[in-house]
Amino acid sequence: MSPRIGVMTSGGDAQGMNAAVRSIVRSGIHQGAEVYAIYEGWQGAIAGGEHIRHLGWSDVSGILNKGGTVIGTARSAEFRTREGQLKAVENLVHNGIDRLIVIGGDGSLTGTRALCLGWPAYVEELVTTGRITAEQAAAHPHLNIAGMVGSIDNDMVGTDMTIGTDSAMHRITEAIDAISSTAESHRRTFIVEVMGRHCGYLALMTAIAGGADYTFLPESPPRPGWEDRMVEVLGRGRAAGRRDSIILVSEGAADREGEPITAQRIQAALRDRTGEEARITILGHVQRGGTPSAYDRWMATVCGAEAVRQVLSADAQSEPMLVGVRRDMVNTTPLLAAVEATHRIGDFVNEGDYEAAIHARGVGFTTMVDIYRMLSEATPTVAHSENAKRIAVMHAGALAPGMNQLARVAVRAGLDRGYDLFAVKGGVPGLISGDLQEVSWSDVEGMASTGGANFGTRRYVPVDADLYMMARTLEEHRIDALLVMGGFHAYATVDLMEKERRRYPAFNIPIALLPASIDNNLPDWPMAVGSDTALNTIVRSIDMIRMSASASKRAFVVETMGRTCGFLPLMGALAAGAEKAYLPETGITLEQLTDDVTALVDSFTSGRSFYLTVMGEEASKYFTGDVITRLFEAEGAGIYSVRDAVIGHIQQGGNPTPFDRINATRLAYMAISNLDRQLLNGSTDYVAASSGAPGLLAPLREVSAGMDWDNQRPNEQWWLKVRPVFEQLSRRPGQE
């Protein structure tokens, strides 16, 4: 008998759970297992019967873009009892299920582990009482489990992100952006309450992403007198030019006495001190709703495939594992340790050890708390002097959403440390022509949420004759350090400057280089600023294309940007549930096309009504989107029709996603910290973003060495590792 895997979603629902279920069902089928859904969480395991049902390949079609969970979830008081767990074991054994993947919060995973530990004793008892046979008991001596965290709070130790968090951040930032525009018009103050009973991740990250003024987190209760400090900070922001004030509060925020800090309490504090009646918005369940973001779809998909691998390879001695992510790669850790460490954070908060609580959330969280404080306070930490040093910031290369946030954070972080900040207008040509402008704290107000690049950017790499003019500009404006933010052209420009340093003494200043490109084609940084936004645009566009085709039998060939890099077409295809992806890395052959046309025709003749092909714009010089569409059409006469869709420049536009804004924030802050250090100790190094390096920046030479300059993409592309998962999920076994 083939192994049987049970899958359930339990506890609070979260966007992306469906992607996980789809991936588990299809990966399971590929690996020779049968997958059973346990509907309504542990409640369904206890009820048995219709609640435990086999799921086939097509049962999970069309669920990737749905919020919530199609197999239902519940909280079950009965499962906390011995009798409840006994019943659950009985039903699982009757269905031949002894491998289980649970997608839920820390409560659900704690319960799952308890069941796993108790399994042998429960099985024995069930045999003794005649509820299962001795043969059944012998066939299922232990339960193998894997946990995946579905929780919008991102409150679990052992994974960088939990399923649903990114989508919840989308909902919150959309709300903050909308509220900001009305608040700005009326010069109002808004208090926005977000979810997070024990974890301030959502509040902190969306405060950064939304450019909010003040925030309250459970892990960092304010000291007495916080009301006056808050009023002072808001007042300084207004004096520096802000038209609105936004305060974000976690639902679990409290003061040092443990008294909850509610939106109403903040409102009263403001009323007493300023007379202003702040408006309150409680976002509530909106945060759990809506379509999952691209990240939640691909991350849950990749983790689901790994969870299947885990439960199928586990034996009696295997420790239950938690499947999550670390630095954009799937990562497994012992479930028990992760759950215990998570509970410990709650204890730290309850015991008043807030430093320990923040620390336990990891360095990323601590750094973001510091960055947030710096960004929201409109007074420099370092006193400004008459002969302050000067830092220039410049974009280069194609436009990428999030460039404005990079510039905003860099300017504020630089001013905070007492520097004068200059914007180079219009990218490299602006540096050549000397188009520089001094910028103030309020000049970058509102730039957190907007797409585009207010300072301008151009796809231009300087030629030899330009270098002299660039050096002159740096000298004339007495620029002491330069920050360059952009794509391939930015990297090529700074690389050239480093090579020409000996000829141009003005280039002997510290320079930092940060990746911003929707193509995600830059070395040493997993996600260039802008690439997450473009990916979400692709996924949303494909969702719409799918709907447009729902009434007829139709194949679509969708073309994405990405130039010579396959990140957008592959990850877009994975997140949107495409059947086929063509990438520039592997090109397209005639032989492959012949196979694909056969698969396409098979798929329609066997009852499908939609077939999605995603291709990168430079996947092949010869087999263009047009050619492939015609080819598909030629074979489809009478069975299906074919349409092509070029997603086009909207991929470079749009407001940046929360992830791109947060990514930009961290990068710009670290770059300015590096330049600051260099200016203080007199060094003149060229550095570039590097995710593994201390301070997130490494010598430019080391980073450049990872670039395949001819093909304009990095030598190593981490995301190619998810390709086997895509191949597995897009094609039913047996279908060529």
State the catalytic residues. 153
Q: By CB under 6 A, is residue 106 in contact with ligand ADP? A: yes
Q: Which stretch binds ligand ADP (CB under 6 A): 99-107, 184-192, 383-391, 541-549?
A: 99-107
Q: CA nearest 420: which of 465, 366, 479?
A: 479
Position 111 contacts ligand ADP (CB under 6 A)? yes
Instruction: Assess 110 for contact with ligand ADP (CB under 6 A).
Output: yes
Helix (H, G, I), strand (E, B) or coil at 163: strand
Q: Which CB sits closer to ligand ADP, 24 or 494?
A: 24
Give the Cα separation of 75 and 40 in Å (integer): 8
Which C-beta is closer to ligand ADP: that of 114 or that of 650? 114
By beta-carbon proximity to ligand ADP, the closer residue of 104 and 200 is 104
What angle separates helix 531-548 from helix 294-313, to the nearest 10 degrees?
A: 90
| Closest CB 70 distance from ligand ADP, rounded Å | 17
Q: Using alpha carbons only, give the angle 37, 41, 46 rounded to the nearest 5 degrees.
A: 95
* CB-CB contact of 133 with 303 (8 Å): no
Using CA atoms, how far apart are residues 244 and 59, in angstroms rounded to an integer? Answer: 48
**Measured from the CB atom, is 343 or 721 closer to ligand ADP?**
343
69 vs 629, beta carbon nearer ligand ADP: 69
Closest separation in Å from C-beta 123 to ligand ADP: 18
Q: Residue 197: how many CB atoms within 10 A of its CB?
A: 12
| Residue from the set 105, 462, 584, 714 that interacts with ligand ADP by CB under 6 A | 105
**Judged by CB under 6 A, does residue 11 bind ligand ADP?**
yes
Q: How far is the CB of 104 from ligand ADP (least distance, A)?
A: 4
Q: Which of 36, 39, 79, 348 binds ligand ADP (CB under 6 A)?
A: 79
Q: Which one of residues 96, 107, 118, 648 is an interface residue with ligand ADP (CB under 6 A)?
A: 107
| Residue 341 in the binding site for ligand ADP (CB under 6 A) | no
**Beta carbons of 16 and 719 less than 8 angstroms apart:** no
Binding of ligand ADP by 15 (CB under 6 A): no
Among 104, 164, 451, 510, binds ligand ADP (CB under 6 A): 104
Among the listed ranges 45-53, 105-113, 259-267, 679-687, the one in contact with ligand ADP (CB under 6 A) is 105-113
Spell out, one character per residue from 20 to 59, where the chain touches ligand ADP: x when CB under 6 A holds, - when not. ----------------------x-----------------
The counts of H helices and E strands in the chain are 24, 24
Angle between helices 488-499 and 464-476 (to 10 degrees): 80
**Separation CA 678–CA 216 (nearest Å):** 34
Lay out the site mask for ligand ADP across 116-155 (x = CB under 6 A, - = otherwise).
-----------------------------------x----
Nearest C-alpha neighbor of 265 from the set 194, 371, 197, 193: 193
Q: Which ranges of 140-257 would DSSP assign to H, the alpha helix?
A: 165-186, 201-210, 226-239
Task: Based on the shown chain and the rule CB under 6 A, indicate whether residue 197 belongs to the binding site for ligand ADP.
Answer: no
Beta strands in 111-167 (DSSP E): 144-149
658 contacts ligand ADP (rule: CB under 6 A): no
Q: Cβ contacts of residue 733 below 8 Å, gap of 6+? A: 29, 30
User: Which range, of 5-13, 293-301, 586-594, 620-628, touches ligand ADP by CB under 6 A?
Assistant: 5-13
> DSSP letters of 360-418?
HT-HHHHHHHHHHHHHH--S-SS---TT--EEEEEEESS--TTHHHHHHHHHHHHHHTT
CB nearer to ligand ADP: pick between 107 and 260: 107
Q: Which is nearer to ligand ADP, 92 or 619 (CB)?
A: 92
Q: Are 629 and 541 in contact (CB under 8 A)?
A: no
Q: Which is nearer to ligand ADP, 167 or 665 (CB)?
A: 167
Reference 445, options 198, 110, 130, 184; nearest CA is 184
Does 690 contact ligand ADP by CB under 6 A? no
Q: Kindly tell me which residue out of 6, 12, 28, 456 binds ligand ADP, with binding defined by CB under 6 A.
A: 12
Beta-carbon contacts of residue 456 (< 8 Å; ≥ 6 apart):
395, 425, 426, 427, 430
Question: Among the candidate windows 61-69, 72-80, 613-621, 720-728, which touches ligand ADP by CB under 6 A?
Answer: 72-80
Residues in contact with ligand ADP, total (CB under 6 A)? Answer: 17
In degrees and rounded to multiples of 5, residue 610 shows phi and psi of: -145, 140
CB of 150 to ligand ADP, least distance (A): 7
Q: How far apart are CA 535 and CA 560, in angstroms?
A: 9
Q: Of the candidates 53, 66, 75, 731, which one interacts with ligand ADP according to CB under 6 A?
A: 75
The only residue of 9, 15, 69, 76 in contact with ligand ADP, by rule CB under 6 A: 76
Q: Considering only 100-108, 316-324, 573-581, 697-705, which stretch makes contact with ligand ADP by CB under 6 A?
A: 100-108
Binding flag, residue 10, ligand ADP (CB under 6 A): yes
What are 279's two structure tokens? 């408006």
Q: In the complex, which residue's CB is closest to ligand ADP?
A: 107
78 alpha-carbon distance from chain centroid = 35
Q: Which of 108, 332, 404, 533 binds ligand ADP (CB under 6 A)?
A: 108
Q: Shortest distance, CB of residue 8 to ligand ADP, whole angstroms?
A: 10
Region of residue 143 (left: phi > 0; alpha: psi -120 to 50; beta: else): beta
Instruction: Out of 54, 114, 258, 606, name the contact with ligand ADP by CB under 6 A.
Output: 114
Q: Are strands 713-714 and 707-708 parallel, antiparallel or unpaired?
A: antiparallel
Query: Which residues contact ligand ADP by CB under 6 A?
Result: 10-12, 42, 75-76, 79-80, 104-108, 110-111, 114, 151
